[in-house]
A and B are shown apart, each in its own frame.
Chain A
């Protein structure tokens, strides 16, 4: 037994010692905790940790296998995302105890706060006292036992799992109902309570999902595919796209779901050009040797940055939205081209981790596939707030794509049309976000960068929060960004275009006199190296490409990703279709595309007279349309002629 005194150790020092002692198999006692946050975060050794006093937020969070005992109180999110082990709280717990747990027993001997067990998927959350409201909110599995009163709206939007209440069920949440106990429930719960020395003799009520919201009753009808290229072109008010949309709504009677991004004209990098004559840009194969494209992303606070051979990342796209094979192809291509890949929001594929040299692991509001071991072998972490195709919405994954493998990885039931919450359980504002960010840094020893993924909306305000909260970099996604499934109303209409988002981000940072220590990665409709060079000239540190990469890898852009029967084998989990996908060949195709992007960036940089792409600036650009000029502040060429005062009038 080792003793750590938090009155003399910082929390980071303490957690380093806890991890070291854990690896040695030494039990740990913590004195003078004084309700500090993040005690024991990221511990993956099966040792005992005793906290003599109270702990703050995220105590025992992101741990796997350890047993914690906190004599007194804990703050928010005790046991966050635990896989195995236990936490016993002698006093009260704050909001969201047991949030996102994948296993483990969380035992609160006093009262617990609101939204207990939010998005939990397995394990037991036991409360010997009363619960505050919305216990079991959006839980996907596992068991909650409340020996006191349940609080209001118990089981709100739960997908699966069970909630047992011995006291009053004060009210039921949406899509929750009371049901009879199974014959084994009472004995199992008594055994569980005995294990933690909680005496109980009363009767229990059981709350489960009522099943009213788990499936879209009518799927979109299969239609003749209308490719994105056609649909996104300029057209009149009534066109094939509008007809298709009305036809589908007539068949389903609800909002429509589809894949891909906003499919309509809007300001884009095409409306911007380079100021100098680039007619010779393509003639010199040696541009690559003269131009530096290397870019480091992250490292604001000393973490090891992503080291990109050019300022390009693969954009986040999940295993789930995409097939395993296509995710492997993207990972392989990222290694071949010396850039980073991103897991997207569905968890880390083992094969993708093996194939990618640099892999960013993304954390979704529903914590699907999120776990400490993959965090510790990621090269960067990313908190997903929203994306360009659907700002303000959580993820959607249709039942057809939820295979047993996917259900197991994400921790969700099979057979349902999955929805993630639109917001993180533990982030209700910028002040919560800073504590969440610190949890991730503590869990990974402050070694890797942590970024935030935002859909572009109120960028000028949001970017300031990201800077003040301390992110290494921001991944900003304009309205043109794509998705595997979203409601068309949001996909088409919510958000601002990528060019405007980038400018607003730079303006916001300038307003608070932020340095250049937080980097900006822009994405959303960036289709080639020319767009990338323009984005970097406007102030991005790097770009991320998703749609372009999967088109290079065989996507035909039919905009029916949500249906789950992608004929190419990309946006599907159906073996008949995925068998068609040759991931080795497609990796090579994606890699060659990325090498084309590299060459384009180098050629433009060289033609403009620079030897480093990061020397590009807005002075190198002009706007080709009045709208682009208004959005960016770039000079409008051909510009305005004041006819009344020009030489023309004199003549």
Chain B
């Protein structure tokens, strides 16, 4: 097995699918010749040619609309929006056109599209490059939203997303592209969309999270175990829409306490949805309210205070202590 970082794993997934299916196309601003501003698609144009992997003019709505039109023609577009803050320019095509093609046409057409975008904080990027907009998309019917937290999942989820006949919004955390390497099979495999992963087993409290916050939560759990002997179970959602509530409920039945950690602003997002579903399905198993650790309801901050704005292990530890002491 090869050692890959998350960026290499995503590139490998794209290569596997470009090779397997001639209908897979890869495009976006700067993705062709140089392989993207993060080099996530480096070498793919050289390997598969300019008809399969190509640069587009700078216009996000057209990238989205191009994907929708190609999807109608039977292609499987993987369209990159260079940074997450630019998805608003393409939101009509993503959240209105691609997501409801199957419904509007009574199943005659579909949108087998993957929209890729880097996102996520802690890297001191320019404004509107890092926001966590997954909640916004998660509220859109007809679209799946995936946020991988490690190289193995990233590759398997990307392959599953490309093979899915419905639109998938695939969010790649900037801070995870090069964070670490892990063993990743070189052949093709999939990680099921909509299935969460128990990344750490524990009996005292459940942390439900995704993306970079899986790693921040692991740090907090290590600290809690070392200092107080508290055994934390951590669930990585992997797909934030739809949410795998069964895995969450099974964990809460065991731990009876939970918190949800997300980078995004606190209100109305993925964490709120997780808690609403826990409320519907597991309330009698709870010994304490489920708390959220999240960014405050402000615009994403300029780089100076980014590190204190984002959830930290300390804030997670505080929340865990609160639900344990309730």
- Chains A and B form a bound pair: no
